[in-house]
């Protein structure tokens, strides 16, 4: 699995994991966070390899659907980026107007997106 996709799925699991079935959540968690093979996941959950793979695929699809509909991860990324910029501006002694403009960007992201 590609690192970026792995990281994104891991974040989506943290955000939306409670909205998955227990089997989906457990299978994806074992795959992402414990780096277990399909055979190991199947053995741990008492299902076939195919059932473990299906649970992981369905979990991934559901997480992507939830993010597409709700956008919580996207929102967090935007706010985090703006907060990093704000921190940099404060550390570099930027003027109050520049800092206030960044704060307004953050507010817009939070309340108008």
Q: Which pLDDT value is given to residue 86?
A: 83
Q: Which pLDDT value is given to residue 96?
A: 82
Helices 49-70 and 3-16 pack at an angle, to 10 degrees, of 80
Which tokens sit at 36? Answer: 């277990």
Q: Look-up: residue for tokens 């919580």?
A: 72
Angle, CA 66 vertex, CA 112 and CA 53 arms, to 5°: 160
**Residue numbers of the chain with a pLDDT score lower than 70:** 1, 112-113
Q: Look-up: residue for tokens 């955000």?
A: 15
Q: Is 47 left (phi over 0), alpha (psi -120 to 50) or beta?
A: beta
């Amino acid at each position: 699995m590609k690192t970026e996709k792995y990281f994104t799925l891991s974040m989506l699991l943290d955000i939306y994991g409670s909205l998955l079935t227990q089997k989906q959540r457990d299978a994806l968690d074992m795959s992402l966070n414990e780096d277990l093979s399909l055979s190991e996941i199947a053995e741990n959950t008492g299902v076939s390899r195919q059932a473990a793979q299906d649970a992981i695929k369905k979990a991934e699809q559901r997480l992507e659907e939830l993010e597409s509909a709700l956008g919580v991860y996207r929102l967090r990324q935007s706010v985090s980026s703006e907060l990093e910029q704000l921190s940099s501006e404060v550390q570099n002694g930027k003027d109050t107007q520049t800092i206030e403009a960044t704060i307004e960007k953050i507010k817009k992201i939070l309340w108008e997106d």
